Structure 1
């Protein structure tokens, strides 16, 4: 699958993860008892059920459960998903291209309100050194242009920038990361709206990380 364009979620993923992933934020869903909040987020994949077909699932306890099918071929990637609820949301996305250039769309339909919850389009240009992307959110009239640059692969040092344009306003966000040690990652970001962020991520055990 080296020539596959991947799935729509991969468009702008590297810049998005550098700029936003791991920074302190409210979990997508939580259960509150007094001042105690609990949220459990489980995700996994069952790969190659048949050639090219992958099943992905996510359970956010106590509220959100989703199941997704991903079908990857040499020049296309298709994803179909559904939320496991009494009034499910349906999601469908498709990407065409190759490992260097891809273009696609992502739509979601809310069966409870009978309206579209998401209608996005995007494109991506990928190389070993630089990854650029442009996406459009049709429901919110929002454009995002992002760029990710792998400066020093040996230490996982990279920089990323994103320009967001919505409602006549634009926000520029710049971020960087550096692998201080084998299991320690430093990240920092700054936005033109005055927001600053920094964190240290430490791998304690395989697949278990602590952030500060």
Structure 2
């Protein structure tokens, strides 16, 4: 574990990755190549039913400045410029989307041994301002995530979170949707040598009194092959296998079945990532 509490987005991240990361119901292909000058070009294509979505991302690193430019099939241009550590612990991110003139944003992140702060502001006449901050250590941390729309004078987001970590257990509790949704999650390392872990997430909505429960596990068959499985209280069961057939290149096969309607067709997904 790191020294500090990290950013607000790190609260519950281990459990989210265990339960949701790499599960696909589509066909996705990603290939990354590098030019002689060090420019990384990543081409991605995703087939969702009859719809095909593609994009090309170009990344250039020059000392502590990273520039990402992505173009998708809808002719949208996404640009992100990241300046890493202009001062110790500081990171500045400038991003915008063309042709959306209201998409420009500047974000500043600061990581300290006892704090993690991220604040952003839109580059418009009446911007949306976001602030998230975490105080604590790598064991216990408390944070908040707030967005304010200066045009309407309303808070568009007001969240709070608590995280506890030790050698093999990470637990978190967050209050989202302006106090309407309570989320509790945990991640428990069972056997580090085989990357075996279990996790769970419980979400309760105060306005609808509905509960959502998801539990999952992961296990490495060998250093290159990982199995994952999950199930929720709605009867949806999913599993995947991911194999790294060469360094940084892997394929993932995942499937989902509705145990309460087994007559329906199962969903399958395939993801292939190639890197030199």
Residue number in structure 2 paired with 1:53: 90
Given candidates 66, 71, 90, the residue that maps to 2:110 is 71
| Per-residue Cα deviation, 1:88-125 (whole angstroms, up to 9, x for no partner) | 54321000011100000011234666543321100000
Q: Does 1:119 align with 2:135?
A: no
Between 58-67 and 94-103, report the one with greater CA deviation: 58-67
- In structure 2, the CA distance between the partners of 1:110 and 1:204, relative to structure 1 (3 Å rule), is farther
Give the distance between the partners of 2:173 and 2:198, measured in 1 at CA: 17
1:129 corresponds to? 168
Secondary structure in structure 2 of the residue aligned to 1:151: strand
CA RMSD of aligned residues (A): 3.4
Of the structure 1 ranges 178-187 and 117-126, higher mean CA displacement relative to structure 2 is found in 178-187
SS, match of residue 18 in structure 1: helix
- Structure 1 pair 187–66 and aligned structure 2 pair: CA distance change class (3 A): farther
Q: Write the mapping of 1:5-20 to structure 2, written as runs, cut at 5 A.
A: 5-20=5-20
Between the two proteins, the alignment pairs up a number of residues equal to: 208
In the TM superposition, 1:134-153 aligns within 5 A as 134-139=173-178, 141-153=180-192
Deviations 1:22-51 (A, max 9, x none): 112689xx9x9x832224576896432211
- Is 2:214 aligned against 1:181? no
Q: Unpaired segments of 5 or more residues in structure 2?
A: 29-45, 58-67, 69-79, 254-276
| Equivalent residue, structure 1, for 2:51 | 35
TM-score, normalization by structure 2? 0.64
- Worse-superposed segment, 160-169 or 102-111: 102-111
Corresponding residue for residue 194 of structure 1: 235
- Which deviates more, 89-98 or 54-63? 54-63
Whose Rg is larger? 2
Q: For the residues of structure 2 that align with 1:58 and 1:202, how far apart are their CA atoms?
A: 34
Does the 8 Å contact 2:159/2:179 carry over to 1? no
Question: Which residue number in structure 1 is paired with residue 260 of structure 2?
Answer: none
Would the alpha carbon gap of residues 87 and 17 (structure 1) be closer, same or farther in structure 2, given more than 3 Å must change? farther
Q: Cα gap change, 1:52/1:130 in structure 2, threshold over 3 Å: closer, same or farther?
A: same
What SS does the corresponding residue of 1:14 show, helix, strand or coil?
Answer: helix
User: Aligned-pair distance for 1:182?
Assistant: 1.6
The answer to whether structure 1 residue 163 and structure 2 residue 179 are counterparts is no
Distance 1:55 1:152, change over 3 A: farther
Match of 1:23 in 2: 23
- Structure 2 CA distance, aligned partners of 1:40 and 1:194? 37
SS of the counterpart of 1:69? strand
- Pairwise CA distance, 1:180: 1.8
